[in-house]
A and B are shown apart, each in its own frame.
Chain A
Amino acid sequence: MFDRRSLLKGGGLALAGVAFPRIAYTAAPTQRRLVFLIQRGAADGLSILAPTGDPDFARIRGGWGRDLEGGAKLDMFTLHPLLKRIAAMHGAKQARFVHAAASAYRERSHFEGQNILETGGRAPYAEKTGWMNRLAGALPRSESKAIAIAPAVPAALRGSVPVASFAPSVLPDATADMAARVSALYAPDRQLSGLWDSALATQKLAGQIDGNGSAAAIGALAAKMMVPADGARIMMIESIGWDTHSGQSNRMKTQMNALDALVGALADGLGPAWQKTLVIVATEFGRTVAVNGTGGTDHGTAGLMMLLGGAAHGTGKVEADWPGLSQAALYEGRDLKPTIATEAVIAGAIARHYDMEPARVAKALYPAQPGLKVGAA
């Protein structure tokens, strides 16, 4: 963890002191795989990796303290206990957590925020191509076959390089997907979201909407598509249900189980290839620090990013220039203040993964942010 003598310059934070020499190729290029797992709906980083060591945390989020019992303690943070596979990955140096990260976007609209996260544009919808497609264009063909597990090609993968989308019909339960979308639909409606959350919580329903079953299936499917010699090398997976305006404690349990199941199935399916795989988990923005009147949180700013896989090169430490949770420390008096740029983390991780010059990667992925400072991380 870095102390407060941070180098906040123009939105980018160079991870000072973490410079790696160019790594000689030990693996054939075609073994490198990349997965971008987007959490749509603004995932609450403060619940996933909770800053329990922060003096203000108990005051603000103490009500949900029980949810963290048994979670792995990482520096001043506690990982949600239901992320069991991810905790194990962290122990095996296959995970990096980057906290208080935010993209260049400072408003709070889901779809605008996701568009910025996916396109790297200067403004929402200003850029028609996505950073993943631009990356694919910069890689040798053997490394750039890209597929999205989605009914249509998401913004991050749109561009001049042809990519495929695959909406699996073999998955169980379109119901789980529909249920999550209905949750999103009702998020701002107090009456309907209360009723809907209650409905989903009932035992009777749990059997019908098995988020874990379909999440694991997606992870397994993604792995299956990436394992073959001529299979995909770049994949995008969409994860939904993160917009927890109400009933967050219970809903996060479902979300954590599903995320852990997905990532676990992905790792299992990839087998030895997991060693050379980089998974980037990111969301459009975080959520408010305070809990609202319906047991949830509202749209915020900084949040949590995760890098998983053998190619994440975990250090065992959480990376965060922690801004604090006191009222004075909050962004606009309500949100976790961003102290690192999501784009810098992505560009740095990509540069290291593909053994490319960080500056070149930053330019290719984020041309709208010429000031972005990226270290090879």
Chain B
Amino acid sequence: MDRNDIALNRFGLGARPGERIGDPAGWLREQMSRYRPALNGSAALTSRGGVVRAIAQLQRAVLEGREKPGDKAAAQRGDDALKAFQGKVRSIYQEQVGLRARAAIASETPFIERLVHFWSNHFAVSQEKMGPNGLAGLFEMEAIRPHVLGRFEDMLVAVEQHPAMLMYLDQIYSTGPNSKTGAAAARQGGARGLNENLAREILELHTLGAGSGYNQGDVTEFARVLTGWNVAGLGRGAPTQLALKAGVPQGDFLFIDDWHEPGARTVLGKSYAQPGVAQGRAVLADLARHPATARHVATKLARHFGGDDPPPALVARLEKAYRTSGGDLRVVHGALIEAPEVWASAPLKFRTPWEWVIASYRAVKLPIDLSEHPGKAGAGFSNLLIQLGQPVWKPGSPAGYDDVAASWAGPDALIRRVEAASQLSGKTSPATDTRALAREIFGARLSQTTADVIAAAGDPRQGTALLLVAPEMMRR
């Protein structure tokens, strides 16, 4: 791969026909100035408040059904509400997928767009639970996009205060045992307690990384710190009552002081005496600055750009950039552009299904028209990614999708890509000159075999399908 290929495919999201960049590194750098977080067409999406309102309505209907065991009508209303909700959420999800795909395919700042996907996967929320349903796309838009060239700490806070994350990791149920509400519940024989999920995943996945020096005690203490972190307008109790009283819009972050475990907490050997929500923010600030976080973030970025086995020199380079800049992602991402390891000429990564689909659409200039019905194109994309084994925003765990070839390069996966390529090529023009297209897309790395097989194709569409599954297309 030459520097052109590398900039377009390893840093970017895939070459487009006729795309020429004179100064690959310069092109990448100036994308950082041109990047705008706003997502085209997002105004048409159901808002965060709208989704949370739908979730809250469903919760009420389902709860009513449960609370009146003999009342068949109530139970039926609960079932109907669930079906309606699932249908609504499916549409919302597909619209969000459609916008994400369109943005990726059309992006003129593909390096930054790639970073959005990276960070969204790092702070993964998974859609299959009822909780964050319908929110994952908004989460990426609201918590990731605005901060991808900002400070890691700001992204971290935005992520951990977003309803998608709070619901996904069950934070909304977490109550301090000695908090006002917790203590009252205990006196009445009820069970209101801590939920450690969010605290654990922040330490293990989002910041320090597994095995980097925190222990179970730190997890529990941190969970106590986070009690009270909640979502306005959920359920029938405090999150809704308090939000109404305080005028916090449904779906926004809400701190419920009555649920917060009182007192100073000790996390990773440091004491935090701040009151209320400030306590959690202080811990997050320190986690963002922690050397283990620098190393963890550097390793994941190095794996994403430098190869499944992240080159140690690259990890060190990125770690240094993180630490010396205080976690300024603009600086860290800039260090990627300057890193010789990322400019290695051999292909370093096997494209994930998402990457392959986006690169394919960019290569053969398949249009996505979202003007009429955003959900329809989105449904197509989401089904395609399901077929290929990487449903958007549904990794199944907060660790997100794996970033190594072993997860994606398998016999069945190849079959599915060949099938998908045949489907996609059916939408291309029968007059495509696939030999010329192969030269344009693959540039210096087009192999003789690939050129020959494409040239020998039965017809141009078959040629396009072969181009899309060529080895040059599978790797970056």
Residues of A within 8 A of B (CB): 40, 109-111, 150-151, 167, 174, 177-179, 181-182, 184-189, 191-192, 195-196, 198-199, 202, 205
* B398-427 interface with A by 8 A CB criterion: 409-415, 418, 422
Contact call B414/A110, Cβ cutoff below 8 A: no
Contact call B452/A186, Cβ cutoff below 8 A: no
Given contacts A178-B418, A182-B469, A185-B466, contact A192 B474 (CB under 8 A): yes
Chain B, residues 350-366, CB within 8 Å of chain A (1/0): the string is 00000000000000000
Contact call B414/A178, Cβ cutoff below 8 A: no
Contact call A199/B453, Cβ cutoff below 8 A: no
Given contacts A111-B452, A182-B469, A189-B471, contact A199 B409 (CB under 8 A): no
In the bound assembly, the distance between CA atoms of A186 and B418 in angstroms comes to 12
On chain A, the residues within 8 Å of B455 by CB distance are: 111
B422 to chain A, nearest CB (A): 6
Choose among A174, A179, A181 the residue that contacts B453 (Cβ–Cβ < 8 A).
Answer: A181
Tell me, yes or no, whether B457 is within 8 Å of chain A by CB: yes
Choose among B409, B448, B450 the residue that contacts A195 (Cβ–Cβ < 8 A).
Answer: B409
On chain B, the residues within 8 Å of A188 by CB distance are: 447, 449
A261 to chain B, nearest CB (A): 20
Tell me, yes or no, whether B465 is within 8 Å of chain A by CB: yes
On chain B, the residues within 8 Å of A177 by CB distance are: 458, 462
Tell me, yes or no, whether B456 is within 8 Å of chain A by CB: yes
Contact call B414/A199, Cβ cutoff below 8 A: yes
Given contacts A181-B453, A184-B449, A198-B411, contact A192 B459 (CB under 8 A): no
Q: Count of B residues near A, CB < 8 Å?
A: 27
In the bound assembly, the distance between CA atoms of A109 and B449 in angstroms comes to 9
Nearest A residue (CB) for B467? A185
Q: Is the interface of B mostly helix, strand, loop or mixed?
A: helix
In the bound assembly, the distance between CA atoms of A125 and B453 in angstroms comes to 17
A207 to chain B, nearest CB (A): 13
Contact call A205/B415, Cβ cutoff below 8 A: yes
Contact call A192/B471, Cβ cutoff below 8 A: yes
Contact call B415/A185, Cβ cutoff below 8 A: no
Nearest A residue (CB) for B415? A199
On chain B, the residues within 8 Å of A187 by CB distance are: 449
Choose among B414, B415, B452 the residue that contacts A192 (Cβ–Cβ < 8 A).
Answer: B414
Query: 28 interchain pairs (CB within 8 A)?
Result: A40-B456, A109-B448, A111-B456, A150-B458, A174-B462, A177-B458, A177-B462, A178-B465, A178-B466, A181-B456, A181-B457, A182-B466, A182-B469, A184-B453, A185-B449, A185-B450, A185-B466, A185-B471, A188-B447, A188-B449, A191-B409, A192-B414, A195-B410, A195-B413, A198-B411, A199-B414, A199-B415, A205-B415
Choose among A111, A179, A184, A202 the residue that contacts B411 (Cβ–Cβ < 8 A).
Answer: A202
In the bound assembly, the distance between CA atoms of A187 and B452 in angstroms comes to 12
Contact call A182/B418, Cβ cutoff below 8 A: yes
Given A182-B418, A185-B466, A195-B414, list of 14 further CB < 8 A pairs?
A40-B456, A111-B456, A177-B462, A178-B465, A178-B466, A182-B469, A185-B449, A185-B450, A185-B470, A186-B471, A188-B447, A195-B411, A196-B411, A199-B415
Nearest A residue (CB) for B413? A195
Choose among B412, B413, B422, B474 the residue that contacts A178 (Cβ–Cβ < 8 A).
Answer: B422
Please name the 9 residue pairs, one residue from A and one from B, whose CB atoms are nearest each other, closest first: A199-B411, A198-B411, A151-B458, A189-B471, A185-B453, A195-B411, A111-B452, A199-B415, A184-B453
A364 to chain B, nearest CB (A): 27
On chain B, the residues within 8 Å of A186 by CB distance are: 471
On chain B, the residues within 8 Å of A182 by CB distance are: 418, 466, 469
In the bound assembly, the distance between CA atoms of A35 and B462 in angstroms comes to 26
Nearest A residue (CB) for B469? A182
On chain A, the residues within 8 Å of B474 by CB distance are: 192
